[in-house]
Chains A and B, each alone.
Chain A
């Protein structure tokens, strides 16, 4: 569990590659915003990209990919609950 190298695991992307992915996704998002791409396309893309970024940070930087599923559940389940609450609070 301890003592990993620059790669989280052998054969897995390095932290640097993940960082590059985060930067590229953010740059694309800014491009979409500056170019004034219209909703609903822009909204769909933003949700997709931000979801990807969250997943990348959680899976690789926070080691959820390699660690016990308990930790993943502790993160994902409240997030889903929050989604339900937010949607209903907007609606009610």
Chain B
């Protein structure tokens, strides 16, 4: 017997009475674990930054990555606007905004790769020292999360184009949005701690 089929709205009455949706709750709990995962990586970076010191920080390109930060922030705007669009039944606008999000995400990743390549040219690599190891691991895992988000966005776009996602059924867009915004939030923290605070 399919257990998914056996789930009805009344199974979730206790949670609904608290104003909760089970899929949103699942995503927020997952985000809680991701906060701690990035937390471990950030703590390692900051531990070395404030005990050893990171002279390589001068090699970082604050303006370029600052622009990249704007790109990612814009993509959060397009995601939440896409959610609004599909809730209003504006499938075309939804698709356009989601496509824009995908392009912005790819642009962010391109910018990151450019920064990585620039650092490599200056001899700062994953294995060149403590800075390189902690910097590239931290920003690398963030980039991986963005890449996963881009793939997820593509899948969501297709579901929207096919009409599986529409004005009545669009929780999947909100769930994707929560993931995307979280990845953006992680970047805000990373940009501040790595690039701005010296």
Contact = CB atoms under 8 A, between A and B. Distances in A.
Q: Do chains A and B touch in the complex (CB under 8 A)?
A: yes
29 contacts: A2-B87, A3-B87, A4-B87, A5-B88, A19-B76, A19-B77, A22-B73, A29-B192, A30-B63, A30-B66, A32-B196, A39-B198, A43-B197, A49-B192, A50-B189, A53-B73, A57-B181, A57-B188, A63-B174, A68-B18, A74-B31, A78-B39, A81-B36, A82-B35, A82-B36, A82-B39, A86-B46, A89-B43, A89-B44
Interface string B75-93: 0110111001001100000
Contact of A23 (B70, B191, B192): B70
Contacts of A18: 77
Interface residues of A, number: 48
Highest count of chain B CB atoms <10 Å: which of A5, A23, A53: A53
Interface of A: 1-6, 15-16, 18-19, 22-23, 26, 29-30, 32-34, 39, 42-43, 46-47, 49-50, 53-54, 57-58, 60-63, 67-68, 70-71, 74-75, 77-79, 81-82, 85-86, 89-90
Contacts of A26: 66, 69-70, 73
Given A23-B73, A82-B42, 17 more contacts: A3-B167, A4-B87, A15-B77, A15-B81, A22-B76, A33-B196, A34-B63, A46-B196, A50-B189, A50-B192, A57-B181, A57-B184, A58-B185, A62-B178, A75-B31, A90-B43, A90-B46
A17 to B, nearest CB: 11
Nearest to B179: A62
Scoring A15, A47, A85 by chain B CB atoms within 10 A of each residue's CB, the highest score goes to A15
Contacts of B182: 62
Contacts of A1: 19, 21
Interface of B: 18-21, 24-25, 28-29, 31-33, 35-36, 39, 42-44, 46-47, 50-51, 62-63, 66, 69-70, 73-74, 76-77, 79-81, 84, 87-88, 167, 170, 174, 177-178, 181-182, 184-185, 188-189, 191-192, 195-198
A7 B71 CA distance: 22
Given A57-B181, A70-B20, A16 B77 contact: yes
Shortest 7 CB-CB distances between A and B: which pairs?
A82-B39, A50-B192, A68-B19, A19-B77, A74-B28, A78-B35, A89-B43
B83 to A, nearest CB: 9
A57 B72 CA distance: 12
Contacts of B192: 29, 46-47, 49-50
A4 B80 CA distance: 11
